A = this chain, B = another copy of it.
Amino acid sequence: MAKNLTTRGEDYSKWYNELVIKADLAENSGVRGCMVIKPYGFAIWERMQAELDRMFKETGHQNAYFPLFIPKSYFSKEASHVDGFAKECAVVTHYRLKNDENGNGIVVDPDAKLEEELIVRPTSETIIWDTYRKWIQSYRDLPLLINQWANVVRWEMRTRLFLRTAEFLWQEGHTAHATKGEAIAEAEQMMNVYADFVENYMAVPVVKGLKTESERFAGALETYCIEALMQDGKALQAGTSHFLGQNFAKAFDVKFADKEGKLDHVWATSWGVSTRLMGALIMTHSDDNGLVLPPNLAPDQVVIVPIYRNDEQLEAVSEVATSLMAELRARGIRVKFDNRDTHKPGWKFNEYELKGVPVRIAIGPKDVENGTVEVARRDTLTKQLLAKGDAVGFVSDLMQEIQDNLYKKAVDHRTENTTVVSSYDEFKKVLETKGGFIAAHWDGTTATEDQVKKETKATIRCIPLDDDNEPGNCMVTGKPSKRKVLFAKAY
């Protein structure tokens, strides 16, 4: 491994941290818990954003922008919401700095204290519902289907790049509906949109389900989620969609007149995915050689590396490379021709392997002579020599093949690492030796859920929606259980 990358077997967590840095995805900043998303990492996030944004718009949503700051008093209006977020938020208390009179440099000006403190948004329900009160009067104003791309801040104590950072980027959908049924349908629809995106673009299989009461979003009546399984057997929550009932409408007094003129509070949803998806993407596909990217999200899907010893050779190779690039681009493939003379081919091979570019094409003087090119796949680390005339069709087909292969590998890994258990002893044993998703019966009480969490660190990831709903007995208490739920240790 020329990359000096810790292997997954040695230390999965260390491997992840090193990979994020070495593949130029992100790094820690001088601000505690806040990351810098580097250009290569950001280019992947931009592709995610573009696809999600398209899907949101196709389902009738519009983007808008609401303030970064939330007055403290707004928070207190929805009781469970403030409980959920008050302990980890950044508070703005002053609006000016000044030169210290005693020569201590720049200090906060005590005369510039805000009358009411402002919270840097950890999520925007409160400021948005305060606004919706002005926007919604009648059934004609509904449904209101709005999304926001934004940065949010949650003062996490232990942070990890992409997975848990004090500031992160996300989108948050906030919708208002005339009926309970419509709001539930919206929450389910957005869970399905997320699942579609994560499976078909990120090539990460997910389980759709409901959160238990104790794992629900602060202020939600029901939280839908998609859960993915990482290579180390830990689960990662990839997205959530909340049915908020009339909680926020009541807290912020948002009512609408129906066709008969009768007033009622509106029904709400909110839903979000964040830069955390980058963590899921990295941990699902990457290997000991570095990042592995699915073609649907790779900023560069193909890189062409020229092999040459002199200018004459470079010219001949470049001619082949340029025409190949043009043909691939004509098929909508994102191709980069790396003809920098500041780096050797070996360095470039290594670099693109580390950065997960799905396909590498190498062309040398012999290839020019023989009319061949060498095509290497990042996912399988295999390479083969092709007639130049066959390369375009082959590489074109490879895009879908690699996408499918990555998804299949991830599904197989999840299948192998999903275990059905019938006793708590078996549960503990599987959790210790194998990890992964564990399906087990649970009596439906928070007490039992807490006990399992305390004793094993595993949590209920979700109550799967596609379960067979076979009743049984709780593995811990033996009490009746309506269906199995999915446990795992989680990120």
Task: Give which listed residue, B69, B98, B146, B153, contacts A167 with CB less than 8 A.
Answer: B69
CB-CB < 8 A to A342: which residues of B?
Answer: 140
Apart from A31-B71, A90-B118: 19 A-B pairs, beta carbons within 8 A = A29-B66, A30-B127, A30-B130, A34-B69, A36-B65, A36-B66, A39-B63, A43-B62, A43-B63, A68-B153, A69-B90, A75-B97, A86-B106, A89-B95, A90-B95, A93-B108, A97-B119, A120-B120, A151-B151
Least distance between A291 CB and chain B CB atoms (Å): 17
Nearest Cβ on chain B to A434's Cβ, whole angstroms: 37
Query: A89-106, CB under 8 A of B: which get 1 and which 0?
Result: 111111111110000011
CB contacts (< 8 Å) of A97 on chain B: these are 72, 75, 82, 86-87, 89, 91, 119
Q: Is A59 an interface residue (CB 8 A)?
A: no
Tell me if A42 is interfacial: C-beta within 8 Å of chain B.
yes
A131 on interface, CB distance cutoff 8 Å? yes
Shortest Cβ distance from A482 into chain B, in angstroms? 36
Residues 31-74 of A contacting B (Cβ, < 8 Å): 31, 34-39, 42-43, 45-46, 62-72, 74
B76 touches A106 (CB 8 A): yes
**A: number of interface residues (CB 8 Å):** 63
Q: Which residues from chain B contact A35 at a C-beta distance below 8 Å? A: 67
Give bound CA distance, A135 to B97, whole Å: 30
**Also in contact, A62 and B89, with CB within 8 A (given A31-B118, A76-B105):** no
Kindly state the separation between the CA atoms of A140 and B340 in the bound complex, as whole angstroms.
10
Q: Does A411 contact B (CB under 8 A)?
A: no
Residues of chain B within 8 A (CB-CB) of A38 are: 64
Let me know if A92 and B95 touch, CB within 8 A: no
Q: Is A169 an interface residue (CB 8 A)?
A: yes
Which of B62, B88, B118, B131 makes the CB contact (< 8 A) with A96? Answer: B88
Pull 27 A–B residue pairs with CB atoms less than 8 Å apart, ordered by A: A27-B131, A27-B134, A29-B66, A30-B71, A30-B74, A31-B70, A31-B127, A34-B68, A36-B65, A39-B146, A43-B63, A67-B167, A68-B151, A68-B167, A69-B167, A75-B106, A76-B105, A82-B97, A82-B106, A86-B106, A87-B98, A89-B95, A90-B118, A91-B93, A91-B95, A93-B93, A140-B342
A182 within 8 A of B: no
A427 CB-CB contact with B under 8 Å: no
* Complex Cα spacing A29 to B127, Å: 8
Map CB proximity to B onto A422-456 as digits: 1 under 8 Å, 0 otherwise. Answer: 00000000000000000000000000000000000
Taking CB atoms and an 8 Å cut-off, the chain A residues in 100-148 that contact chain B are 105-106, 108, 117-120, 127, 130-131, 134, 140, 146
